[in-house]
């Protein structure tokens, strides 16, 4: 590990779970571990790139930690890693990814890698990916009837469509999804060269 490695903060109240995540990530990232929400808030600073955040913890919950992260304006990506079944309340939350426990090492590694890649995109693209993540999470856990009956889900879908149109226009009017994703990745790679 070097000082230039991205910093991943694990906020998890189960020590064995936190240690497992640390072991999965420590060969690639600088890893910090916080055993509860209060310690997690104290461990946050500008160097933290990704937070893996348990949602249900005694004391300061993951939801409250997430709210404080966003209120402080910290430029980090947050993945909720939790056994809490997602519901429509996630639409109001400022996370970037939602993983349901139990998780496997490749899910954690892929999520951290994707969030680091995403953090390099501009805020419009970050909002788009965050909303698409929420949409996918709801679609994986709710029935089509529940989705059809939800005004919040309709608003989410409309916002995603609007953002995609805005991003497509910024990128020269790309209509095909595969071309859109490829173009965004090429732009990101060019900016990092």
Mean pLDDT of 4-8: 90
Query: Which percentage of the chain shows pLDDT scores above 70?
Result: 84
Q: In the chain, list all ranges with CATH 3.40.50.2300.
A: 7-119
Distance of CA 85 to the CA centre of its chain: 16
Judge contact between 109 and 99, C-beta under 8 A. no
Mean pLDDT of 138-152: 94
158: pLDDT confidence band, cut at 50, 70 and 90? very high
Q: What is the per-residue pLDDT across 180-189, written as a single tens digit (0 to 9) for each? A: 667 766 665 6
Helical segments of the chain, H only: 15-25, 37-43, 62-71, 105-118, 123-141, 144-148, 151-170, 177-191
The CATH class that applies to domain 7-119 reads alpha beta
Residues in CB range of 106: below 8 A, 6 or more apart: none
Does residue 174 carry a pLDDT above 80? no
- What distance in Å separates the CA atoms of residue 70 and residue 77, rounded to the nearest whole number? 10
Higher pLDDT, 170 or 45: 45
- What distance in Å separates the CA atoms of residue 79 and residue 27, rounded to the nearest whole number? 20
- What distance in Å separates the CA atoms of residue 76 and residue 33, rounded to the nearest whole number? 16
Which range has the top average pLDDT, 93-97, 109-113, 121-125?
109-113
Q: What is the per-residue pLDDT across 75-101, written as a single tens digit (0 to 9) for each? A: 899 999 988 777 787 777 778 888 989
């Amino acid at each position: 590990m070097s000082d230039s490695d991205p910093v991943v903060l694990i906020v998890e109240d189960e020590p064995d779970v936190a240690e497992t995540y640390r072991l999965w990530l420590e060969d690639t990232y600088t890893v910090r571990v916080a055993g509860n929400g209060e310690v997690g808030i104290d461990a946050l600073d500008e160097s933290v790139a990704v937070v893996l955040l348990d949602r249900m913890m005694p004391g300061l919950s993951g939801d409250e930690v997430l709210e404080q992260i966003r209120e402080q304006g910290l430029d980090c990506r947050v993945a909720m890693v939790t056994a809490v079944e997602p519901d429509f309340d996630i639409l109001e939350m400022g996370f970037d990814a939602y993983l349901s426990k139990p998780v496997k090492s490749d899910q954690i590694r892929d999520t951290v890698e994707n969030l680091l890649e995403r953090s390099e995109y501009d805020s419009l693209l970050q909002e788009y990916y965050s909303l698409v993540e929420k949409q996918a999470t709801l679609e994986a856990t709710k029935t089509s009837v529940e989705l059809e009956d939800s005004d919040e889900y309709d608003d989410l879908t409309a916002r995603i469509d609007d953002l995609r149109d805005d991003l497509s226009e910024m990128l020269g009017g790309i209509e095909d999804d595969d071309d859109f994703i490829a173009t965004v990745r090429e732009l990101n790679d060019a900016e990092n060269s």
